[in-house]
Amino acid sequence: MASKKEKVNHIIEILEKLYPVVPIPLDHKDPYTLLVAVLLSAQCTDERVNMVTPKLWKLADNPVDMAVQEVEDIKAIIRPCGLSPRKSKAISELSQILIDKHNGEVPESFEALEALPGVGHKTASVVMSQAFGVPAFPVDTHIHRLAYRWCLSTGKNVDKTEKDLKRLFPREKWNNLHLQIIFFGRQFCPARGHKPDECPICSLYGRKG
């Protein structure tokens, strides 16, 4: 039986072989558009966000232009992403805060990001890792599910899963790993219709029963 370290190293090997290059799933052109796209992706698929954002960027693609838009106009565009009343208000307010407190720039710190309306730890982690290259391990429902299935975490909550994964995997791998696990989950390890015996990782290390 493989030790935990051998298992983790083998999982890294499998993921790197399958996904040597990992594109960022959300279309964006700078930290601000990534921040807004990640905010929109809450309880929404990346595909749908990518369908909505081109129209939103035509309205405004920077904090200065976004802050002067009517919240109702933002809401009308992002409605397909769900939770549009809350998300549109957050986009408007955070844009103004970026102007007032951060010279119109997205701040490069977890604390400053998490202080913005609509921005939780996961969103801040995605921005820090993908926009600024700071090691982070954003845990979404896919990663949470797979970490439990692979017996890497107890599955109690996403905070515990994040701590467990950060402890198990090398820090320099985090930014790629979280994307590799998301792609793997979509391709081989879905929430529904999962076939453990056919999954390249669950077949080896999956939770029994």
pLDDT digits (tens, 9 = 90+) for 4-27: 899 999 999 999 999 999 999 999
One-letter identity of residue 35:
L
Per-residue pLDDT at 2: 73
Q: Is 140 considered catalytic here?
A: yes
CATH 1.10.340.30 fits 31-132, yes or no: yes
Residues of the chain with CATH 1.10.1670.10: 4-22+137-205
pLDDT tens column, 58-83: 999 999 999 999 999 999 999 999 99
List the Cα angle 64/65/70 in 5-degree steps.
Answer: 115
Four-way CATH pick for 4-22+137-205: 1.10.10.60, 1.10.3470.10, 3.40.190.150, 1.10.1670.10: 1.10.1670.10
Q: Is 7 considered catalytic here?
A: no
pLDDT tens column, 135-190: 999 998 889 999 999 999 998 899 999 999 999 999 999 999 999 999 999 999 99
Q: Which of 7, 87, 122, 164 does the annotation list as catalytic? A: 122
Kindly indicate the confidence band of residue 1, based on its pLDDT and cuts at 50, 70 and 90: low
Residues of the chain with CATH 1.10.340.30: 31-132
Q: Which of 73, 140, 160, 166 does the annotation list as catalytic? A: 140
Query: Is it the case that residue 55 has pLDDT exceeding 70?
Result: yes
Q: What is the Cα–Cα distance from 40 to 19, expressed in whole angstroms?
A: 25
Q: Which class for 60: exposed (0-12), middle (13-18), buried (19 or more C-beta within 10 A)?
A: buried
Query: Is it the case that residue 49 has pLDDT exceeding 70?
Result: yes
